[in-house]
């Protein structure tokens, strides 16, 4: 009997345990369901919501975006095609875009938009106001320039950051498309980051370093206008488009333009350090062609590899040297020499690691100041 009683007692304990577990499980399920009910639906933003955000960006951004018109002698704007299609006008117009970076009338645009310093420049605001503009500062490194118009209280573009950009995020371009369609808005995505491309201008080929690639429509006349994120903050300056492709445009990251913006607002000029060398980035192909022992760095080369009297010349840099590092940071396709040098100020001392033949040297350089 004692044995049977022990069995029954054990069975009762098991039964009670099962009942308690079932009750706890039921309370857990009920609690989760109640919590979901309180939280409400978690639907993804609708297409309408996305459209409303873009509309808001366009409405809030248009007041600080301007059209830039350059008027000058027809010879100032000549291209090779002009010999095939003669023009008889004495005056001609070129156009671009820009945006206010200060309330007292400073307008950021592209350097190639104001390439003729003898032309007359006019800025048209979104509300149709026509303002005479003067060239205020020219960036000697990036394709940037600043115009100045008289007045005060202008709406200033909110500047974002290009450091945190991600491929695939929304990008909004605003500008004077084709030189006729003022404040045209186009929407796309950030298609690529850190691109290095060669852009052909009217009189030269310009290397664009570390630019943003976007499929937001960038057309002639958009140059100098802002590239914005979904919050309406400027993340880039629209600069170039691929002529032999569709929906491939490029913008200078706003973080690269910050030095120029701070310079003109605080000092009234744009100042960069200057090393004074011509170079090509070393890769496997250059290594093989030049018989080098390294596949990275900056090979000092060209007709004027080292500018006479420059900081590099004074420090003893020679044609054929390969600059491997700047203050311990490797020079390569992702960290060009000019990008590393422009992080400093004129007068700063930097240590260059240089490969000369098979010899590795450490050379100290006091940077000069770049003149445009």
The H or E element containing residue 91 is: strand 91-100
DSSP string, 133-167: EEEEEE-SSSS-EEEEES-S-PPPPPB--STT--T
Q: Is 143 a catalytic residue?
A: yes
The SS3 of residue 223 is coil
Contacts of 241 (CB under 8 A, 6+ apart): 218, 219, 220, 222, 248, 249, 250
Catalytic residue among 61, 67, 97, 112: 112
Partners of 253 in beta bridges: 236
Catalytic site residue from 95, 223, 310, 336: 223
Cβ(70)–Cβ(94) below 8 Å: yes
Residues 6+ apart with CB under 8 A from 209: 196, 336, 338, 339
The answer to whether residue 223 is catalytic is yes
CA distance 38 to 35: 5
Ramachandran category for residue 209: left, alpha or beta (phi over 0 → left; psi -120 to 50 → alpha)? beta
3-class DSSP state of 258: helix
Q: Is 321 a catalytic residue?
A: no
Q: Which of 61, 116, 139, 143 is catalytic?
A: 143
Cα-flanking dihedrals φ and ψ of residue 254, to 5°?
-65, -30
For the annotated catalytic residues, the residue numbers are 112, 143, 223
């Amino acid at each position: 009997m004692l044995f049977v009683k022990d069995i029954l007692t054990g069975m009762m304990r098991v039964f009670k345990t099962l009942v308690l577990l079932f009750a706890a499980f039921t309370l857990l399920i009920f609690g989760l369901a109640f919590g979901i009910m309180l939280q409400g639906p978690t639907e993804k933003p609708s297409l309408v919501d996305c459209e409303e955000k873009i509309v808001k960006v366009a409405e809030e951004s248009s007041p600080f975006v301007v059209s830039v018109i350059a008027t000058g002698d027809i010879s100032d704007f000549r291209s090779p095609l002009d010999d095939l299609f003669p023009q008889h006008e004495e005056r001609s117009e070129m156009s671009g875009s820009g945006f206010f970076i200060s309330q007292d009338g400073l307008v950021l645009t592209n350097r190639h938009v104001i390439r003729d310093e003898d032309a007359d420049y006019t800025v048209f605001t979104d509300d149709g106001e026509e303002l005479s503009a003067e060239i205020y500062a020219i960036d000697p490194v990036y394709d940037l320039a600043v115009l100045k118009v008289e007045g005060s209280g202008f709406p200033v573009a909110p500047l974002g950051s290009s450091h945190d950009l991600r491929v695939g995020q929304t990008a909004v371009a605003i500008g004077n498309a084709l030189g006729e369609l003022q404040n045209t808005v186009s929407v796309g995505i950030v298609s690529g980051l850190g691109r290095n491309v060669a852009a052909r201008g009217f009189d030269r080929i310009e290397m664009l370093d570390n630019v943003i690639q976007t499929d937001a429509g960038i057309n002639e006349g958009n140059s100098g206008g802002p590239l914005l994120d979904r919050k309406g903050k400027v993340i880039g300056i629209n600069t170039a488009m691929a002529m032999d492709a569709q929906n491939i445009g490029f913008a200078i990251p706003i973080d690269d333009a910050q030095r120029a913006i701070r310079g003109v607002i605080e000092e009234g000029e744009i100042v960069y350090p200057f090393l004074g060398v011509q170079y090509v980035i070393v890769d496997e192909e250059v290594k093989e062609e030049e018989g080098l022992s390294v596949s990275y760095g900056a090979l000092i080369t060209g007709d004027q590899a080292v500018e006479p009297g420059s900081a590099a010349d004074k420090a003893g840099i020679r044609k054929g040297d390969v600059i491997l590092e700047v203050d311990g940071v490797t020079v390569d396709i992702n960290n060009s020499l000019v990008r590393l040098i422009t992080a400093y100020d004129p007068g700063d001392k930097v240590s260059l690691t240089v490969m000369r033949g098979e010899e590795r040297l450490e050379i100290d350089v006091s940077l000069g100041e770049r003149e445009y």
